[in-house]
Amino acid sequence: MSNIQDKVVIITGASSGIGEATAKLLAKKGNKIVLGARREERLKEIMKDIDTEGELAAYQVTDVTKHDDVEDLAKLALDKFGRIDVWINNAGLMPHSTFDKLKVKEWERMVDVNIKGVLYGIAAALPSMRERKSGHFINLSSVAGHQTHPGGGVYSGTKYAVRAISEALRQEEAVAKSNVRVTIISPGAVATELPNTITDEDLKQGINQLYEAVAISPERIAETIAFAIDTPSDTTMNEILLRPTVQEV
């Protein structure tokens, strides 16, 4: 496997955390990056860091809960760089709460971003990948996509769903012999803005303490994603589950 990559990579949720770290690392490795998220100022700052000339990267303000926005992001990649090699469904939020708090709006938001956002990403990228008989989806699930705990029911539900969707897509593309690869990335605690979405005061402090005690840097996940991309095309990392060494569950 080489250190040089030359792929067109689209990243949703590229304005912070894992998406930002991945955009920066993959740009450094020679890939062309298309960034999508809602916070334009953040995207502009990241663009400055990875591509001062605007030739190797592009961004578009994207809300992954809007199908048209996600289609437009794919169109930007196709218009500017001519293809989509890798689509990283990374945008997500984690407003943990126990069910008795009835935070129905937050449940809906998690379903919209964490599940429907991934489906819109698949819809936007799969046709051109099928046509070229080449492509790679990288979908962010979580350790929470393997196990759950009080307060994490809806978030876990969305991350279990990401794994189910990804596995069925993988099977379909294998049958179709489309050469479209699917990789699930399932991290444990990573030091990002993710816990900031928690509004349940009974849970917030404990989760922040856990993150402060064990979380690893988002660069670790970026390196893992780069590794999955770099695997020779006849082989796919179907899922990579990774945790901080000191994280128990």
Of 12 and 31, nearer to ligand NDP (C-beta) is: 12
Q: For residues 95-114, which are near ligand NDP according to CB under 6 A?
A: 113
Q: Is 155 a catalytic residue?
A: yes
Verify binding: residue 183, ligand NDP, rule CB under 6 A: no
How far is residue 36's CA from residue 214's CA, in Å, rounded to a whole number?
29
CA 168 – CA 1 distance, rounded (Å): 28
Residue 150 contacts residue 194 (beta carbons within 8 Å): no
Please tell me which residue in 120, 155, 160, 211 is annotated as part of the active site.
155
Nearest distance, CB of residue 64 and ligand NDP, angstroms: 4
Side-chain-facing half-sphere of 99: CA atoms under 13 Å:
6
Work out which of 35, 37, 74, 229 binds ligand NDP, going by CB under 6 A.
37
Distance CA 155, CA 145 (A): 8
Nearer to ligand NDP, 38 or 101 (CB): 38
Phi, psi (deg, nearest 5) at residue 246: -95, 5
Angular region, 107: left φ>0, alpha ψ -120 to 50, beta rest: alpha
Q: Is 193 in the site for ligand NDP (CB under 6 A)?
A: yes
Binding-residue pattern over the window 201 to 230 for ligand NDP, x denoting contact by CB under 6 A: -----------------x------------
Region from 48-56, 187-195, 199-207, 241-249 binding ligand NDP, contact rule CB under 6 A:
187-195
**3-state DSSP assignment of residue 195:** helix
The interface region with ligand NDP, picked from 6-14, 170-178, 200-208, 231-239 by CB under 6 A, is 6-14
Does 190 bind ligand NDP (CB under 6 A)? Our answer is: yes
If one asks whether residue 121 binds ligand NDP (CB under 6 A), the answer comes out as no
Location of structure tokens 């009974």: 202
- Count of residues that interact with ligand NDP, criterion CB under 6 A: 31
Q: For residues 245 and 243, give the distance between their C-alpha atoms in angstroms, rounded to a whole number.
A: 6
- Smallest distance from ligand NDP to CB 97, Å: 15
Task: Rule CB under 6 A: choose which of 13, 121, 135, 244 binds ligand NDP.
Answer: 13
Choose, by CB under 6 A, the member of 93, 184, 207, 228 that binds ligand NDP.
93
Q: Which of 154, 194, 222, 226 is close enough to bind ligand NDP by CB under 6 A?
A: 194
Instruction: Select from 150, 134, 240 the least CA-distant residue to 187.
Output: 240
Residue ranges of alpha helices (H) inside the chain are 17-28, 40-50, 67-81, 104-110, 117-132, 153-176, 201-214, 218-230
Phi, psi of 165 (to 5 degrees): -60, -45
Active site residues: 155
Interface positions with ligand NDP (CB under 6 A): 12-19, 37-39, 42, 62-65, 90-94, 113, 140, 142, 187, 189-190, 192-194, 218
